[in-house]
Amino acid sequence: MRTFKLQVQTTVDGYMAGPNGEMDWLTLSWSDDVSTYINALTETVDTIVLGRKLAEGFIPAWESGPEGEDQASIDWMNNTPKVVISDTLTESPWKNAVVAGGDLAETVNGLKARPGGDMIAYGGGAFVRNLIAAGLLDELHLFVNPAAIGTGMPVFPALDARQPLRLVSARPFECGITALHYEPRRP
């Protein structure tokens, strides 16, 4: 079965965005060691999984070749097939992307059961929180930025039950970001 990874930027106090979606707390001047880490993280990935809301900005942004991004990253983001999880879209308006809807657990488990490399989720708040709450992720890669904002869109939802995690690694980077790699402890 394929490994399903989450890569998300977060504040020290666990938010992926401010109360109105603000992202001004992000450390945008990544050091080379962050890029090397992310390249290793995505090396085995052949599918990007996104929620619809994030996809609406994410896919066009990468298609435009964002300033400050290296061409290899732009090419990887654009050339890697994407699955957009949505109950409102029936077909994809984007190149190299398909839409999947219905029950989230059924959809994700169906994707994981297909042959192929690993999958990675980049997400907006509701999508990430639903993946976590449903226990669908095999690896969580939290890129903790050196900022606390006090309130906003939390990475972790109000869970119905505890989800114990095992710390696989913690890696500080020159720019101040620390990558925390966790795996769920499953019974």
Q: What is the pLDDT at residue 158?
A: 75
Paired with 182 in beta bridges are: 140, 167
pTM more than 0.85? yes
Q: CATH for 17-163, among 1.10.3720.10, 3.40.50.2300, 3.30.1490.190, 3.40.430.10?
A: 3.40.430.10
Q: What is the pLDDT at residue 20?
A: 92
Q: Where are the domains of the chain?
A: 17-163
Which tokens in the block code for residue 130?
């639903």
Instruction: Kindly give the residue spans of alpha helices, DSSP state H, lying in the chain.
Output: 32-42, 52-63, 71-79, 104-113, 125-133
Q: What is the pLDDT at residue 160?
A: 76
Q: What is the pLDDT at residue 121?
A: 96
Q: What is the pLDDT at residue 111?
A: 94
Residue ranges for the chain with pLDDT beneath 50: none
